[in-house]
Structure 1
Amino acid sequence: MTDTDVIIVGAGPTGLMLAGELGLAGVRPLVLERHPQARETPKAHGLAGQILQLLRYRGALARFEAATTDPMPAPRFPFGGVHLDFTQLTDSPLQALPLPQQGLERVLEERASELGAEIRRGHEVLGVRQDEATVTAEVRGPDGVYEVTARYLVGCDGPRSRVRELVGIEFPGVTYPEVNRVAMVTLPDSVTMLDNGDLEVAGFGTVSAGFTRTDRGVLGVGSLTPGVLFLSTVEDEPTEYDDDVPMTMDEFQASVRRVLGADIPLGDPIRLSRFTFKARHVDRYRAGRIMVAGDAAHLLPATGVALNAGMLDTVNLAWKLAAEIHGWAPEGLLDTYHDERHFAGARALLQTQAQVALRRGQDPAAEALRAVFQELLVDEQPLRRMGALVAGSDIRYPRTDPDEHALTGAFAPDLTLHTDEGTTSVAELLHTARPVFLDLAERADLREIAREWADRIDIRQGKTGDRPADAVLIRPDAHIAWAATIDESAETAARTLRAALSRWFGA
């Protein structure tokens, strides 16, 4: 008998998201966090990418939107020293929600607690060991050292993951010599923001909106809110900073002075943060009964990507752990966590390392590359493709059979569904995080097969305009496990459906 089902090490956004997803799947998670209080050091400033769509599919997005007081930014995102500007599109392939990490963690913790998670702060994991059936963690808490056992343990404990180190998971990659500093400040009286976003600085002149490059670094200038400036600097430095030590205004102003060669008057600080860029990726996401997720598994050398990737790791993992704990997981299901999320992590590294190449070059050839790249982004098709790549919405987990439907492995589109009970949608069907067999073409033969797994999956029926398939099987993480081609023969559809049900949801 174990003390809990799953031990989660780390109460950052990744660990708290995993706790909520496990609770939704009927699993008992215990979260151990070494810091005694929720951290107030500003880090991420919001969510962006596919995780926003997933939260909407969980019916939880409005809760996160209600927690922010910042206005929704225009869909314009930095990419390697240039910009992805989606303002001319009717619908942006890349969305963002401004919500400082402290607020994000509060909402995630409330949700996880409501779903049954236990969260212990001030409890540091000192060691872990595992056998064929359990994992044991040695923990130092306020009252001393103790042990706790579980079926599985997941390290969501960040870049310097103790869990990763203890189980010997390799973390190859590189650290770039860039130090990035970000400040959100009020607009002082001596600075005027012009209509085009440029700053007119008394006694200095004009500082252009966007990125200003000098031989000492890069200065970024912008504004999302009237009267508030968003500034950033990037410099090459040999200093190794501790992410838990807050940046000061004096440190930021000194950085601006070094990069620009002059002072810019700044108002009162609203948020300050500092970070370095690394490109690292674990060789395996799983070591027996111990797994890693989020920054413990991958570090990405660009902003606005890490939270999206880390929280999506947990959505992929949670339902698979639940299947193992509830006793119906098919053989090899948990191994697909590594297969799929290592693939997704490699895609995230691809586009973030491309950003490194774009932004770090300082010679005329690099300037030419950025200019050509920006020209390509004037056209809608490459702009949409880049937006999907950064958002992670282009991920199609590799198919096992090349003859499988093209939708297999993709994130399920949010179809509007007309049923006997009224109008609903794919997003609403996934609020409970249960697998869904969705019949779109009155295929009673396929519904009959799906009913053999009725204890594990929901069976729904509906009609939609321009249906993409006769039927789809949707996993709890909203990715499609199987689809039937329109008017596919009963024999072929039955055979492939049984194979998919068995592969993902057991015999």
Structure 2
Amino acid sequence: MPEKTVDIVIAGAVPNGLMLACELALAGLRPIVLDRLPAPSAEPKANGLAGQVVRVLDMRGLYSAFSGSSAAPAPTPRYIFGGMPLDLAAVQPNPVHLVFKPQPEMVTILTEHAVDLGVDLRWGHELTDFEPAGDHISVSVSAPDGPYRLTARFLVGADGGKSTVRKRTAIEFPGITSAGHVSRVGHATLPEEFRAGDGGIDVPGVGRFGLGHHRLERGIFIFAELDPGRPIVGTIEFQGGEQCSEDEPLAFDELHDSVARVLGVPLPITPPSGPGPHTLRRTIGQNTRVAQHYRQGNVFLLGDAAHVHSAMGGPGLNLGLQDTVNLGWKLAAELRGWAPEGLLDTYESERRPVAERVVMYSLSQAALVSPGPEITALRELFGELLRLPAAATHVAGLLAGSDVRYDVGDGHRLSGHFFPDCALETDDGPTRIAELLRDARPVLLAFGGAVDPAAAVAGWTDRVTPVAATAAEPPAAALLIRPDGYVAWAADDFTPADQDALRTALRRWFGTPDIPHSAV
């Protein structure tokens, strides 16, 4: 079998794997992406993006392609938590952003972007095994023209909850499986007389249902119409999963009968019309797990390979795609030779606690939609709490992931948080902070002449972009922003102590300077 040496192999051409490939390509690398499917899957799994990930797409110039809007992202005025309404009107700033987009369309956008950036994308090529080969990984691949091997400096498993990469490394995947639960979901045709004017549906004798999960005493009813004329209906029942088989395809009649059981009345849904693709699937049990480690040697886990949880509230791609922008620039730094010692270890130390937090609130939402009168009482109390501005602000930050603060070694109020966007004036004209991060390079942004950014990053200009700007309300005098959008250092003045702290941050995150650092 011929063997080729490459920088990095990514297993899984799903949104997370493709986004990671794009991040690496922005750094001038050419990753190889393997996927066992002969072409992108047409099955609509995820139906959109919720949370801070929308700002990540904006940061990389992908928001317009995903949303169809040329404007900057605007937060949603309302959302849901545990099937209960969450009014965000009093939350300032509101961190919850939404983009509705079926997963096949996301994959198409990211595939085209990856190809434009020069990524080597190989459909129908399946990673079957791998083993250490010195400081590299030897990867076995099954392909239509026969098996072959690749020798890679790094391997990333973005190959889903049943990840071959994770299993082959024997990384433990602790967590729980909710036994007995069975969920069913599918596209359907719904009579017009059931439609409400606000995009929801009215079910006589039961009530009105809008977008999302709706708790009833017999289970959960799910409704979403992300594409006009193509509603999705579904259920979650808390008993009966033991009698179902994952291997037996879901029949539409089974979905119809489950909807009737949960609602308590028949809903006259019929199979969808049109060319599709149409969703129709059953899931037995709910796995909630986080990998014990995200890294073993030169092998990394990404997305569902590292964490699985309930889809309620749409946390999956918010978590996974932010994993990618965290890992991508660190791998690129290592491959380019300027990564400081321990940088790759910060992928796990920063991202694993975020996954644990998502698990916490996804299990909390699962509890809030469970059956029983005591849960009904708890929901009434929780609903009262969600109407309090402070509680709504807390939950909004939790859902969006905007409450994440990394330990970056700097005590400024902005350090460790995702950057605060604002309008700027630079030598190149008006822009926003998000637009400065298009090429996945770190940025030292200085406002109002407090510091000469070019002089401040002398020695790091091959990897850090200096920008001088003015703004009506600058968030600080200067910000050092990592490629993933998190603030590594900030200052409200630029005292000698601030200068020392900046140099410390530059060394901590971006390595040793190439030339002696001049005084600033």
1:188 is matched with which residue?
Answer: 191
Which residue of 262, 266, 272 maps to 1:263? 266
d(CA) in 1 for partners of 2:362 and 2:471? 37
* Per-residue deviation, residues 351-407 of structure 1 (Å, max 9, x unmatched): 1121122122x3322111111111122233322321221111221112436xx2121
Work out the CA distance in 1 between the residues paired with 2:164 and 2:174: 16
What is the distance in 1 between the residues matched to 2:169 and 2:108?
30
CA contact (8 A) 1:73 1:224 kept: no
Corresponding residue to 1:364 among 373, 380, 385: 373
> 1:136: Cα distance to partner?
1.1
Does the CA contact (< 8 Å) of 2:206 and 2:263 recur in 1? no
Deviation at 1:420, TM superposition (A): 3.5
Alpha-carbon contact 2:76-2:96 (below 8 Å) kept = no
Task: State the AA in 2 paired with 1:504.
Answer: W
Q: By how many angstroms is 1:74 displaced?
A: 6.6
Query: Which consecutive aligned stretches of 4+ in structure 1 deviate over 6 angstroms post-superposition?
Result: 87-91
Q: Does 1:487 align with 2:496?
A: no
1:158 is paired with a residue whose SS is coil
Counterpart contact for 1:10–1:157, Cα < 8 Å: yes
1:261-303: CA deviation from partner (whole Å, max 9, x where unpaired): 4321014527434445221001110100000000000012233
Change (3 A) 1:274 1:44: farther
Separation (CA, whole Å) in 2 of partners of 1:474 and 1:487: 17
- Structure 1, residues 314-337: CA drift from partner, whole Å, max 9, x if none? 110010000011111111110111
Equivalent residue for 1:439?
Answer: 446
User: Residue type matched to 1:336 in 2?
Assistant: T
1:446·1:494 contact (CA, 8 Å) conserved in 2? no
Distance in 1, matches of 2:421 and 2:475, equals 11
> How far does residue 132 in structure 1 lie from its aligned partner after superposition?
4.0
Contact 1:130–1:136 at 8 Å: present in 2 too? yes
Question: What residue number does 1:463 align with?
Answer: 470
Q: Which runs of 5+ in 1 are unaligned?
A: none
Counterpart in the other structure of 1:40: 42
Q: 1:222 to 1:477 in 2, by over 3 A?
A: closer
What does residue 325 of structure 1 align with? Answer: 335
**Structure 1 counterpart of 2:458:** 451
Q: Which moved more, 1:151-160 or 1:492-501?
A: 492-501
1:19 is aligned to 2:21: yes
Give the equivalent residue in structure 2 for 1:104.
Answer: 106
- The aligned counterpart of 1:49 is 51
Q: Aligned in 2, Cα 1:197/1:42: closer, same or farther, shift over 3 Å?
A: closer
* Cα distance in structure 1, aligned partners of 2:476 and 2:89: 32
Return the offset for 1:480. Answer: 0.8
Aligned with residue 284 of structure 1, among 269, 293, 308: 293
| Structure 2 CA distance for partners of 1:222 and 1:326, relative to 1, 3 Å | closer
Matches of 2:320 and 2:508, distance apart in 1:
25
Which consecutive unaligned segments of at least 5 residues does structure 2 have? 513-520
AA in 1 matched with 2:498: A
Q: How many residues are treated as equivalent by the alignment?
A: 494
Pairwise mapping of residues 164-203 of structure 1 onto structure 2 (< 5 A)? 164-177=166-179, 178-189=181-192, 191-193=194-196, 197=200, 199-201=202-204
Query: 1:47, 1:96 within 8 Å by CA — same for their partners in 2?
Result: yes
Q: CA deviation at 1:99?
A: 0.9
C-alpha displacement at 1:196, in angstroms?
9.8
AA in 2 matched with 1:4? V
Cα displacement (A) at 1:33: 0.5
Secondary structure at the residue paired with 2:114? Answer: helix
What is the correspondence of 1:294-443 to structure 2 with a 5 Å cutoff? 294-303=303-312, 304-360=314-370, 362-400=371-409, 404-443=411-450
Deviations 1:392-449 (A, max 9, x none): 1221112436xx2121111111122222332222111101111101112423466423
TM-score in terms of structure 1 length: 0.90
Q: Which amino acid aligns with 1:171?
A: F
**Pair 1:213–1:359, CA change in 2 (3 A):** closer
Q: How does 1:60-71 map to 2 (within 5 A)?
A: 60-66=62-68
Offset of residue 207 of structure 1: 3.7
Deviation at 1:225, TM superposition (A): 6.9
CA–CA separation in structure 2 for the residues paired with 1:417 and 1:376: 38
1:251 aligns with 2:251: no
Query: 1:496: which partner in 2?
Result: 501
In 1, the alpha carbon distance for the partners of 2:62 and 2:217 equals 46
Deviation at 1:197?
A: 4.7
Deviates more, 1:49-58 or 1:92-101: 92-101
Q: Distance in 1 between matches of 2:317 and 2:355?
A: 12
Q: Per the alignment, do residues 192 and 502 of structure 1 end up closer, same or farther by CA in structure 2, a change over 3 Å counting? A: closer
Which letter does structure 1 place at the counterpart of 2:374? A
Structure 1 pair 223–142 and aligned structure 2 pair: CA distance change class (3 A): closer
| SS of alignment partner, residue 251 of structure 1 | helix
Q: In structure 2, the residue corresponding to 1:136 is in which secondary structure? A: strand
Higher mean C-alpha displacement, 55-64 vs 73-82? 73-82
SS in 2 for 1:56: helix
- 1 CA distance for matches of 2:452 and 2:98? 42
How far apart in 1 are the matches of 2:116 and 2:264? 52
Secondary structure at the counterpart of residue 490 of structure 2: strand
Distance 1:469 1:193 in 2: 48
Shift of 1:224: 5.9
Cα distance in 1 between the residues matched to 2:55 and 2:457: 27
Alignment match, 1:9: 11
Contact 1:122–1:141 (CA under 8 A) maintained in structure 2:
yes
User: Cα gap change, 1:246/1:443 in structure 2, threshold over 3 Å: closer, same or farther?
Assistant: farther
Q: Provide the secondary structure at the position in 2 that maps to 1:495.
A: helix
**Alignment partners' CA distance in 2, 1:74 and 1:229:** 21
CA distance, structure 2, for counterparts of residue 145 and residue 57 of structure 1: 39
Give the conservation status (yes or no) of the 8 Å contact 2:426–2:470: yes
Q: Tell me, what secondary structure is at the counterpart of 1:434?
A: coil
3-state DSSP class of the match of 1:302? coil
- TM-score norm. by structure 2 comes to 0.88
Counterparts of 2:458 and 2:75 in 1: how far apart (Å)?
Answer: 46
In structure 2, C-alpha distance between the alignment counterparts of 1:443 and 1:451, rounded to whole Å: 16
CA contact (8 A) 2:222 2:234 kept: yes
Partner residue in 2 for 1:238: 242
Q: CA deviation at 1:212?
A: 5.8
Query: Residues 207, 469 of structure 1: CA spacing in aligned structure 2 closer, same or farther, 3 A cutoff?
Result: closer
User: Structure 1, residues 453-498: CA drift from partner, whole Å, max 9, x if none?
Assistant: 11111011112233332211111111111112x2242x21121111
